[in-house]
Chain A
Amino acid sequence: DVKVTQSSRYLVKRTGEKVFLECVQDMDHENMFWYRQDPGLGLRLIYFSYDVKMKEKGDIPEGYSVSREKKERFSLILESASTNQTSMYLCASSPLDREASYEQYFGPGTRLTVT
């Protein structure tokens, strides 16, 4: 059974803290993604990675960075957390084959609250 796991379901951090959100997939997928989900806005892409050490900005990268040192692990970093980063964060992965109808497989999400 395919699996994407995220390090925490719920997280509470203080303004200014450095926050790490971890995502691990066991499907040997090349592509990994970080989204944030906010009411009325759907899911918005923060960053994605198509290979180890490779990363690309998504639609809303400001205030975030990422790290992919191993194929199975993709970390999202909030350098200095702010209250407007309070959100649900979803990690996803997919295989590289662009011709296939491969969906993205999602983790359970991390609900982050910044106070």
Chain B
Amino acid sequence: AQKITQTQPGMFVQEKEAVTLDCTYDTSDQSYGLFWYKQPSSGEMIFLIYQGSYDEQNATEGRYSLNFQKARKSANLVISASQLGDSAMYFCAMRDDAGGTSYGKLTFGQGTILTVHP
């Protein structure tokens, strides 16, 4: 069974500083995908970034980058130059691609609340 662990219930960062949100995962599959979503207080889930298990380069999307360490089974999200609007809940999630029968199901971590201070 897949498992995603986010060990930081809450994180604080100063505006314009970088912050790393931790995510570790557990799977016996060779093929999988890792996602990060942002959930502001309004409740909608916003997709941020994706990393495939066979991707050799770390994924980047603007100020977001995913620090993918396959051997350690970690997929940490790095937000550079934090902004006040980054204050939100952040979820790490994994999709099991093995055998092509997962139908895109995601397993989510517990989430980390990020607060950006001015």
Contact = CB atoms under 8 A, between A and B. Distances in A.
Contacts of A40: 9, 110
B105 interface: yes
B100 A42 contact: no
Candidate in B9, B42, B91, B104 with the most chain A CB atoms within 10 angstroms: B104
Interface string A80-101: 0000000010101010101101
Nearest to A30: B103
Nearest to A98: B100
Interface in A91-115: 92, 94, 96, 98-99, 101-109, 111
Nearest to A56: B103
Contacts of B111: 42
A48 B100 CA distance: 15
B50 A101 contact: yes
Contact of B108 (A42, A96, A99, A109): A42
Taking residues whose C-beta sits less than 8 angstroms from the other chain, chain B's interface range is 20 to 34
Contacts of A109: 43-44
Interface string B98-115: 001011111111110000
Nearest to B92: A42
A101 B52 contact: yes
A42 B103 contact: no
Contacts of A50: 103
A31 B104 contact: yes
B12 interface: no
Nearest to B47: A103
Contacts of A107: 44
B103 A103 contact: no
List 5 tightest A-B contacts by C-beta distance, closest first. Answer: A106-B45, A103-B47, A42-B108, A43-B108, A101-B50
Interface of B: 4, 6, 9, 33, 35, 37, 42-45, 47, 50, 52, 91, 93, 97, 100, 102-111
Interface of A: 31, 33, 35, 40-45, 48, 50, 56, 58, 88, 90, 92, 94, 96, 98-99, 101-109, 111
